[in-house]
Amino acid sequence: MQITLKLFATFRNGRFKIAEQELPEGTDVRAVVLSLGLTEEEIGIVMINGRHGGLDQALKQNDTLSLFPLVGGG
Amino acid sequence: MDKIFRVNMTDLTTKVEEVPAAWAGLGGRGLTSTIVAAEVPATCHALGAQNKLVFAPGLLTGTAAANSGRLSAGAKSPLTGGIKESNAGGTAAQMLAKLGIKALIIEGQPKGGAWYNLSVGLNGVTINEEKELLGLGNFAVIDAVEARLGKKTGVLTIGPAGELKMTAANISVKDPDSKIRSHGRGGLGAVMGSKQIKFISIDGEGAQAVKIADPEKFKAAARVFSKALLDHPVSGEGLPTYGTNVLVNILNEAGGLPTKNFTVGEFAAHDKISGETMHDTIAARGGKVKHGCHAGCIIQCSQVYNDKDGKYITSGFEYETIWGLGADCCIEELDDIARADSLMDDIGIDSIETAVMFGVAMEAGILPFGDGKGVLRMLTEEIAKGTPLGRILGGGAGSVGRAYGVTRVPVVKNQGIPAYDPRSVKGIGITYATSTMGADHTSGYTIATNILNVGGYVDPLKKEGQVELSRNLQIATAAVDSTGMCIFVAFPALDIPECLPALIDMINARFGIALTGDDVTNLGKHILKLERKFNQEAGLTSAHDRLPDFFKTEPVAPHNAVWDFTDAEIDEFWNF
Ligand code: SF4
C-alpha cells in the first residue's frame, strides 16, 4: 500500500519534509517510526489524516501519516 | 514594605499608600482584577474619568524564580466592556517589584487638553507635562526616553493608536534590548490615552532585592522549578528552537488553522509561514533563534527576525500574529508579516486583534486577501494617521464588521478570536465563549491537551470533556497569572509532578506562608468569579458567553466540524 509520510520540526533534520512510502499492508505507525531511526519516546504527536492516532494504529492505503516531536506554543 | 502608588489625573496629584491587608496576598492578575472590581463602577465608560488603569507585578516578580518577570495591566476594557487583565514581559515588572511597588493605580482624567508623562521612582510618582513626544511611535518614544533619562530606564508607552483611543490599542513595554513587548489585548492603550499619559518612565535607583522570608527553602524550590522547565520537551526544547510559530504546521495538519477569515481549516501555503521555515530563515540571516522577553526567562520563546540583508525587522514574532496575517489573511510572505508586526508594535496596536480585523476587512472588500503590501499601507497610511477608515480599522474586528455589514466576524465579547478554530478544536471554543476576558486563548489553553498531548489528551473534535478541561485550565491560569509567571510554565506544570508544588513552595518561602495546592486552586476560582461578577454588573451576561452564529451554521473543512454546544452545556462551565 502507499501512504504519504510528513515529518515536522527536528524530525526533518537529515530526513525529509514529505515522502510517498510503499509499505506492506497493515503496517502500524510504530514500524514507520522505527524505520526512520526514531524512538517511541521521541514521538510527541501522531496524526493520521488530520486525526490524532497511536503507535499501534495500522495504516491503510492512501493514509497521510504526520509525525511531530513534543513541541508547543501558545 | 511594599506600597501602592496612586496617581490622580483629574487634580494631578499622587499618593503613596500602605497596602490594605486584603491585598497583601495578591499580585498580578489577582491584584489588578481585585482593584478594578473594588474601585471601578462596572457600568462606567471605559474611556471616562471613572475607569482606572492598574499595573501590578506578580507575587514572585523580582525574585530569582525563573520566568517570573511578567507585569499585569488591568482596567475596564473599552473593547469588551468587561474587566481586563493583560500581562507582558519586558523590564518594567521586575523594576517595580524591586522598588517595592505592589501596584500603580492611575485614576481620573485631565480636564484640559494637555498630555503628560509619569516618572515612577523609589519615593513616588511625579506627573510632568509632555509635548515633545506626542504623535510619535513607540520605538521613537523609547529612544527619546532613554536619551532623556538613561539607558536603564523602564518604559511603558502608547503609540498613535493609544493617543487616538482606538479600542485595539495596546500598551508597549520596553524589553531588555530596548525593543517592545505588549499588554496586547482589550484596548488598554486607549485607557492610557484617555488619561492623556503618553508614557511612564521607571527609575530603578534605590531598588533592592525582593525580601525572601525563607531563602534556603526558596532556593531549593527555585532549583526544582527551573529543572522542570528545562526538562520538559516543550519548554526546554520546542519553544526555544521554533518559538510559538511551530504551531502553524501542527494546527494545519489538525485542520484547526483558521484560514481566509475562518472559512477553512487549512492553509495551502502553510509551509512558507511555518516555524520550521522561520527557524531556518532566522538562522540563515544571522538573527537570533531564541531570545527572552525579560531577564530570568529560561524558556526563551522569542526571537530576533532579520531581513535578507541581515537588518533587524522584529522580535517577539508570535504564532498568533503570523497565523492571523498569514493563514487568516492569506499572506504568504513572512517578511511582509514581520514588517507588519514591527509596524503594529510601533503604532501600538494589538497584533492579534489587528490580524483578525484584517481578515474581516478583506472579506468586506476593503483590500484583497493575500495583499501583504496593502496591510502595510493601511497600517501606516490609515491607522497610524487616524483617518476615518483608520479609526474603523483600529477599532478591531468587531468594528469593521459593524461598519461594513459583515456577518462572519470572529469575536466573542467583541474581542477577536485567535489562531485556533473552535469548531475543530472544541475545548478552546469553550474558553473563548466563557473567558471573562473575551476571546482569549491564553486564559485556558486547551490546545495543550486537545492538540499537543500535554496534560493528557481530550479529542478536539468531540464535545466530551471540553467544559471540564477549559474550566480546570482557566482556574489554574488565573492563579498562575497572579504569580508573574509566563503562562508557558503550564506545559511542565501539566506533565511534571514536582513543578507546581515547587511553584507554590516558592510563593510560601517568599512570604513566609503555607499555601496548599487547594489554596491556589481556590485563588483561581475566586479571581474568575470576581471578574465574572464585574462583567455581569457591566451588562455582560451568559448571553455573551457565546460564539458567533456562523460557527454553528458553517462546517469547516477538512473535518466539516461545526460548533455544536448547547447554551446549557456552555453555561455548565460556571458550575464550580
Ligand atoms: S517563554 Fe517567551 S513569553 Fe515566556 S517569558 Fe520567555 S520569552 Fe517571554
DSSP string, B491-556: HHHHH-TTHHHHHHHHHHHHHT----HHHHHHHHHHHHHHHHHHHHHTT--GGGS---THHHHS-B
Place of cell 509635548: B131
Rounded to an integer, the average pLDDT of B216-244 is: 94
Alpha helices by DSSP H, B255-324: 275-284, 319-323
Kindly give the distance from the C-alpha atom of residue B417 to the centroid of ligand 1, in angstroms, as a whole number.
Answer: 22
Q: Which pLDDT belongs to residue B19?
A: 97
Rounded to an integer, the average pLDDT of B371-389 is: 98
Place of cell 507585578: B57
- Residues of chain B in contact with residue A45, where contact means CB-CB under 8 angstroms, are 250, 451-453
pLDDT in tens, B135-167: 999 999 999 999 999 999 999 999 999 999 999
Q: Which pLDDT belongs to residue B441?
A: 97
- Residues of chain A in contact with residue B276, where contact means CB-CB under 8 angstroms, are 8-9, 12
Where are the domain boundaries for CATH 1.10.599.10 in chain B? Answer: 422-495+515-576
In this prediction, residue B523 has a pLDDT band, given cuts at 50, 70 and 90, of very high
Rounded to an integer, the average pLDDT of B105-124 is: 97
A39 touches chain B (CB under 8 A): no
A38 touches chain B (CB under 8 A): no
Q: Which pLDDT belongs to residue A71?
A: 86
Query: What's chain B's average pLDDT?
Result: 97
- Residue B1 pLDDT greater than 80, yes or no: no
In this prediction, residue B541 has a pLDDT band, given cuts at 50, 70 and 90, of very high
Q: C-alpha cell of B488?
A: 508557558
Pocket lining: B68 vs ligand 1, CB cutoff 6 Å: no
CA distance B243 to chain A (A): 7
Rounded to an integer, the average pLDDT of B203-229 is: 96
Rounded to an integer, the average pLDDT of B249-254 is: 97
pLDDT in tens, B482-496: 999 999 999 999 999
Rounded to an integer, the average pLDDT of B210-230 is: 97
In this prediction, residue B340 has a pLDDT band, given cuts at 50, 70 and 90, of very high
Q: Which pLDDT belongs to residue B232?
A: 93
Q: Which pLDDT belongs to residue B61?
A: 98
Q: Which pLDDT belongs to residue B517?
A: 95
- Residue B305 pLDDT greater than 80, yes or no: yes
Q: Which of B319, B321, B486 to mutate to test the pocket of ligand 1 (most atoms within 8 A of CB)?
A: B486
Q: Do A69 and B461 touch (CB under 8 A)?
A: no
Where are the domain boundaries for CATH 3.60.9.10 in chain B? Answer: 3-202
In this prediction, residue B503 has a pLDDT band, given cuts at 50, 70 and 90, of very high
CATH fold, domain A2-69, is: Ubiquitin-like (UB roll) (3.10.20)
- Residue B564 pLDDT greater than 90, yes or no: yes
Pick B452's closest partner by Cβ from A12, A66, A72.
Answer: A72
B438 CB-contact burial (10 Å; exposed 0-12 / middle 13-18 / buried 19+): buried
CA distance A6 to chain B (A): 10
pTM, to two decimals: 0.97
Beta-carbon contacts of A2 under 8 Å, excluding residues fewer than 6 positions away, are A20, A21, A22, A23, A61, A62
In degrees, to the nearest 5, what angle opens at C-alpha B320 toward C-alphas B319 and B323? 80
Q: Are B425 and B470 in contact (CB under 8 A)?
A: no
3-state SS class at B127: strand
Q: Do A73 and B275 touch (CB under 8 A)?
A: yes
Q: Which of B180, B234, B297, B481 to mutate to test the pocket of ligand 1 (most atoms within 8 A of CB)?
A: B297
Beta-carbon contacts of B142 under 8 Å, excluding residues fewer than 6 positions away, are B155, B157, B172, B174, B178, B180
In angstroms, the CA A40 to CA B428 distance is: 28
ipTM over 0.95: yes
Pick B459's closest partner by Cβ from A9, A44, A52.
Answer: A52
A12 touches chain B (CB under 8 A): yes
- Residues of chain A in contact with residue B255, where contact means CB-CB under 8 angstroms, are 50
CATH 3.20.20.370 fits B244-421, yes or no: no
Rounded to an integer, the average pLDDT of B513-537 is: 97
Pocket lining: B488 vs ligand 1, CB cutoff 6 Å: yes
In this prediction, residue B435 has a pLDDT band, given cuts at 50, 70 and 90, of very high
Q: For chain A, which ranges sit under pLDDT 70?
A: none
% residues pLDDT > 90 (chain B): 99
A47 touches chain B (CB under 8 A): yes
Q: Are A65 and A59 in contact (CB under 8 A)?
A: yes
Q: Which pLDDT belongs to residue B355?
A: 98
CATH 3.40.50.10190 fits B422-495+515-576, yes or no: no
In angstroms, the CA A36 to CA B344 distance is: 43
Secondary-structure breakdown of chain A: helix, strand, coil percentages, each rounded to the nearest 5: 20, 30, 50
Q: Are B407 and B400 in contact (CB under 8 A)?
A: no
- Cα–chain-centroid distance for residue B366? 28
Gap between the terminal Cα atoms of chain A: 37
Rounded to an integer, the average pLDDT of B215-234 is: 96
Pick the CATH number of B3-202 from 3.30.70.20, 3.40.718.10, 3.60.9.10, 3.40.190.290: 3.60.9.10
